[in-house]
Amino acid sequence: MLRTVLTIIFVLVCIALSVIVLAQEGKSAGLGAISGAAETYWGKNKGRSMEGKLVKFTRILAVAFMVITVLLNLKRF
């Protein structure tokens, strides 16, 4: 029973992780990074923006992915 629940959660985490990674922008900031335009208000407050939230959720889901993977590979369940 627990293995089935973990497998369902694992599939949902995998789908969510894929969607969030695809929703993120690329790391290249374009020509604005060369001129220093990245150090604007939005560059300094990136953690509060939608992009910052996506990065935070990506980290959380990646940790959940690894923990559930380890749990599913244990032989006790």
Give pLDDT tens digits for 53-75. Answer: 899 999 999 999 999 999 999 97
The list of the chain residues with pLDDT below 50 reads: none
Instruction: Name the token pair of 50.
Output: 């939608």
Query: Rounded to whole angstroms, how far apart are CA atoms 60 and 65?
Result: 9
Q: Residue 75's pLDDT is what? A: 76
Distance CA 72, CA 67 (A): 9
Task: Give which of 41, 18, 19, 38 is closest to 30, Cα–Cα.
Answer: 38
pLDDT at 7: 94
% of the chain exceeding 90 in pLDDT: 48
Q: What is the DSSP letter of 34?
A: H
pLDDT of residue 49: 81
What are the angstrom distances between the C-alpha of 30 and each of 24, 35, 54, 59?
15, 10, 20, 25
